[in-house]
Amino acid sequence: MAGTSFSLEQAKASDTHSSNGLGGETSTRFALYSLTSLFFMWGFITCLNDILIPHLKAIFSLSYAQSMLVQFCFFGAYFLVSLPAGKLVKNMGYQKGIVIGLVIAALGCLLFYPAAAMHSYPVFLSALFVLASGITVLQVSANPYVTLLGCKETASSRLTMTQAFNSLGTTIAPYFGALLILNEVTDSMSVTSAESVQLPYLGLMAALLILAAIFAFLKLPHIESAEVEEGEKVAGSAWQYRHLVLGAIGIFVYVGAEVSIGSFLVNFLGEAHIAGLEETEAAKYLTYYWGGAMVGRFIGAAVMQKVDAGKTLAFNAVCSVILILVTLFSTGTIAMWAILLVGLFNSIMFPTIFSLALSGLEKHTSQGAGILCLAIVGGAILPVLQGVLADNYSVQLAFILPLFCYLYIVYYGVKGSKVASIS
């Protein structure tokens, strides 16, 4: 509760009472329920990029590499904003960080209106950068808050469960985008088609501002052990933990692989030798990719209550490697469903890598979370590289890039995630 300090042990104690009569366990559960709305919202917004890419590619006659600048600007914000966001959260706390992140994201949504009116691709990219900056602050605030809000042994399971609602947002977004954005595209690709994004993003702005107002007044548990008191000096740095550094690389390659696959799905399914689908129909199949991640996260949250998180991570990464190999060496519906099924095994990867990398960091948790969110820049760099491969070879062959990403994740789950300091 506001004004009440909660240590990790206190957050688990059911007999701790706050000023409004809620027990510690009850307030912790309420906080987790409230946070699910944030995970849903940023999943929804992030997945809309997969709709924007083919939409803007057609309107502005872009190459694959140029269209991937959508992801470059969006995820590039994580690289530039994550460390300042970590300092912001350390100084102001997780709850205020959430409110600030929501307001910044709302401003980014508002900027889509002038971007469409001006029919300017650079202004669209600027709007995406501002929007992603707000999402970055949310990530740095909410992800570690969830991992610390309860027993550390079940941190991976808890974060995976909340991330399942992130996947619910990514599952719904493709249908939303296909109906309200892609359906507005005309054969002439006029300014009117660019303006089809205005109403959806104004609606998102309103939703984000409402959430900001709600979180400004909610009474959430304050996690004292995860934050540094004013004037307090902490020895060492999060960079000294080997499993965190390797985890940051894991986040880099995972986000890059997930985003690259999602970004190319509409174009891949439109290939004549794969499915030959129109953009509007192909966009709806994104629901299977992101919906698989949602289902897998609910399953994974239960499995990791009893199975080691690192082993579960490695198993899922091996399955992803196999599916991408099938995609590379087959055609038609086999290739189509193989790449869509990767979403199911993506499910537990981000929250599991994130929580494993933060394990044992204690006072360095906020800094560690900032470093991990910094690594989300993989979603900016790898899609552009895959775009270069697609331009020079083919969309299908370009999926070899995510293959190598998942091979690294196998290593991290088996060995790299073991808690250790760099000597």
- pLDDT per residue as tens digits for the range 59-93: 888 999 999 999 999 989 888 987 788 788 878 88
Q: What is the mean pLDDT of the chain?
A: 82
Q: Take residue 327 and report the two structure tokens written for it.
A: 């995609």
- The answer as to whether 422 is a domain residue is no
pLDDT band at residue 286 under the 50/70/90 scheme: confident
267 pLDDT above the threshold of 50: yes
Number of domains making up the chain: 1
- The answer as to whether 353 is a domain residue is yes
pLDDT of residue 133: 94
d(CA 354, CA 372): 7
Which CATH number belongs to the domain containing residue 12 in this structure?
A: 1.20.1250.20
Range(s) of the domain holding residue 15:
5-227+236-416
- The answer as to whether 423 is a domain residue is no
- The answer as to whether 320 is a domain residue is yes
Write out the DSSP string of 128-173: HHHHHHHHHHHHHHHHHHHHHSS-GGGHHHHHHHHHHHHHHHHHHH
Q: Take residue 68 and report the two structure tokens written for it.
A: 């991937």
| Distance between start and end Cα atoms, the chain | 39
Contacts with 295 (C-beta within 8 Å, 6 or more apart), sequence order: 344, 347
Which of residues 370 and 391 earns the better pLDDT score? 391
- The answer as to whether 155 is a domain residue is yes
337 pLDDT above the threshold of 70: yes
